[in-house]
Structure 1
Amino acid sequence: SVEVSDNFGNSDTAEVTITVNEIPTANAGEDQSICLGETITLTASGGASYLWSNGATTQSITVNPTSTTTYSVEVLENGCSSTDQVTITVNSVPELQISGETIVVYGNSTTLTVSGADSYVWSNGATSNSITVQPEQTTTYEVIGSINGCSSSQSVMVTVESHVEAFAGEDQRICQGYEVTLTASGGSGYLWNTGATTQSITVTPTSNSTYSVTVFDGPYQDEASVNVFVDPNPNVTIVNGSEATILEGNFITLSATGANSYQWNNGATQPNIAVSPSATTIYRVTGFINDCSDEKEITVNVLERVLANAGNDVTICPQETATLTATGGDDYLWSTGETTQTIEVAPEETTLYTVTVFNELDFDEATVMVVVDQQCQTVILPDDNEDLTFAFQVYPNPAFETLYIQLNGVVNISNLKMFDLAGKLLFSEVLEETNQPYNFEKQIDVTNFQTGLYFVRLEDELRVITKKILIQ
């Protein structure tokens, strides 16, 4: 209180009350640590109003400092104030680096190593900085690394590649009717388009075919295919047949068909070959279509040329018999019509006998004289009364379609006959007697005759003439 007086003795008393307010106790909270990128809420206390150093006037503020920062707050109450501060330590977030192979072949493993933190936790539960994994399929591995209470995560994808590389083998070429074994590789399991599940299959395709196989290894697979080409088997034919006959010194052309290429056992490689063996020989030919083959053979029989021999002339007495024997071939035809190698004759007068000796392809003639000794008289051979103008022709020789027989000159009653090799009479025709020049011609169709040797004989009172004809 205070008393106030003046000069006149007057006084008065007055009082004043002073109220003392407490200074508020500012509290900004405890210092804290956060990780870079995090936000934190700061709450002050101790007053009625607040003023933060970042200008905020709320009791609580949310901040996201990028580095360690001190925040201060002024706390006001009843006109009094105080300040406090709080420091937010900002710790860096670990930057994780993962190294190691990230592409592996199925069945292999890889080691993944992480760096950049103090401790780690992998998605597979491992807590070491390195892990070895062997995924069966492409897998993502995640790791959380921590340092100073801050953590970050990083992931890596390990790609699993199939090591399956299917191979069905090289293309094959076989002959029709043959089998072939196909073998696949590249995995641990196999499935062919035939349904077989073995690594190798044996097939017998009848035409060009493609076989595919799926090769497995774990969850992975691959597919491959192989072609099997089927070549037709040649059917070799020797046009000449299985046997042929030629005369010694002659050539024969052997012809093979039914293949693309040929190999004869004499070294020739053409389908047609001309041979002239000196003795009976077997010729073999192998015909090929690609690697397929067929073989045939032919025997070429070689016949010696016929050299007819009727033996030496024979002298007998009347009523006697002479034995005549021919040599030089396989078959014989005497002018008497007999077909044995040896004949017996008993002519009444001296007679000339002719024998035709032949084999399958050749013939020759020989004669032998049987002289009849008439009581030791001088033997006089009869004159040959044949007219020099006489002509007896049979042509062509060899004959293929038509055989022509032509007779010119003066003849008596005559017989014209034709025999085959066995002596069978094929036709006979009588030519009437005439004293005038005689012209005769006959055509015989031989297209239906078998290939071989034939005989055309003209017989009259003066002579017996035999012509040998080869029909082909």
Structure 2
Amino acid sequence: MKKIFTLILTLYTGICVTNAQTVLLNETFVAPTTLNGWYLQNNSNPNGTQSWSQGSGTIFPAFSGGPNDYVTTGFNTTLGVGNISCFLVTPTLNLTNGGVFQFATRTFSNPAQFPDHLEVRLGMTTSSTTIGSTTLDVGAFTTVLHDINPGLTATGYPSIWTVYSTTLSSITGTQVGRFAFRYVVPNGGSAGSNSEYIGLDDVKYTAPNCPTAPVVISPASTTVCAGGSVTFTGSGATTYTWTSGPQSTTYSVSPSVTTVYTLSGTNPGGCPGVATCTVVIGPPPVVSVTNMTVCALQNATITAGGASTYSWSNGGTTPSIIVPAPTGSTVTYTVTGFNGPTCSNTKTVSIYSNTFLTVPNSSITACPNQLALISANGASSYSWNTGQTTQSIAITPTASGIYVVTGTNGSCSESLQIWVTIDPDLYAPSHTVCAGISATLVATGAQTYSWSNGSTSSITVVSPTTNTIYSIIGTSGACSITKTVSVTIGNNLSVGALQKCIGLTTLLQGYGANSYTWQPINDFNPNVLVNPTGPTVYTLTGVSGTCTGTRTLQITWCARVQEFVDVNESVRVYPNPFGTEVTIKDAYGDVRMVNMLGQLVLATTVDGSTKLNTEALSPGVYFILITDPKTTDRKIIKVIKN
């Protein structure tokens, strides 16, 4: 159920009026209030059962007086869901500049489940009660003095009594007017998402007799050195007169002793106001700052004293500044201290870098794979990126690189690098060439060269027929190093076939390439089944990278297929036909099983004997290919799965 109220403890604030004033309205809504001279109008749509009414201390107590001494309005100003616009208008008042209008208000809870919104408006007409009849009409109340929670937020309306105050201005002479409290909430009501319950108390309007002009001087006080000057600026009045000075807002002075100056001003009503300012003559500040020594590559904190404000050469304005570590041995900063705008003194401070670590040589040349010594000096302890912690370390470099040493003295540490270059730094890349093509081997990084093929040039040309490894010795002075260079034949194409006569199915096989093309059948598989009806020459073209090779097979009447050699006939394959398993005995090497289309279905290796799990294979004819890795001989056995 919407909007259930309970009693809560209320905090409240007060207003203190200090100038001589006349209170023209002081409404505390003592229960039962008659609202004598007040005007009420409810423009909510639809119109509810309640407008503004007497408050209830059981929901929350009044700001002052008895618990019920306030007026209230809320969601009952409309029925169900509607747009609320409900006015409570003060009696007619004589309004002048400087008049103070104040009131206290609060809502039930904060954060509120159903937010409230209150406008306080001013109407400058004789009666100001012709408002209109719609939820948007405000009549003559066109000036908004206060707008409390216009965004209808959960926390925008105070849940404790809060006093709001407005001082009137821009009124010519004395005029008749009224103040209006407009409770305005869209989508309000007992079933709406907004509007709850607000209270209004202690509505007061106080007319000024002659308020003091709020004269202010800036700065109110300052310190200058002897002979220095300062300019004061007055505000808060319409006319200004400086004692022994001009009738203007500003006054520039240069006293020789500490002096107090007085500014008199009047407001538009002729009411006076007075303010004073002081110029203190002070000595130049004695700026203190101490030179520092810091660890290399570490920031330093410099602190100055003896002045009120500071200006550093790096742009800092605080007594202490943090500066980066010196890039050299020393860096200098300047600080100026001020006591007032014209009283200053300057001092210089130096920051020294505690650099201690050195190395005899920042770069050396060493023989590869031979001992070399590197060292550092100037620290009490050392740590190398190799993990060693002695001043000098022995290294055996295999490649050129950087060695880092970190030295420590007390709380300071720093690091240096030593570049170690190996010579000779032999480089000779390996090559892949097509069969029948020469390879040009190139070595760099040494003074002289010696190849395993007898060449002593940095470049040698070789023409191997198989994969071959060459060695090269590179020499520079007394140092030498040996490396190997591989030459790989990129295409070592070979072919084979099951020995069959013309008219029977034959399995053609290709090896040693990445892609294959069989002609004249235009097949691209490495293994393919054929059934020639007459003498046929099959040509296989194999491609590996940029290398291409060609081999041929000829099948004649009951002739053996060329380029195929059977392995030992003692190889046994059983059972044949087979079911879920095939056993291979007395065989060594790679084992592959292909179907009638030449597609690989199983692959393994055998070292004496092995068993193939054929449970997943479909019934039909298969070929088992056994290749001896030592002799490259092959055996092809036809098997059948039931």
Give the TM-score category using the shorter length: under 0.3
TM-score (norm 2): 0.20
TM-score (norm 1): 0.25
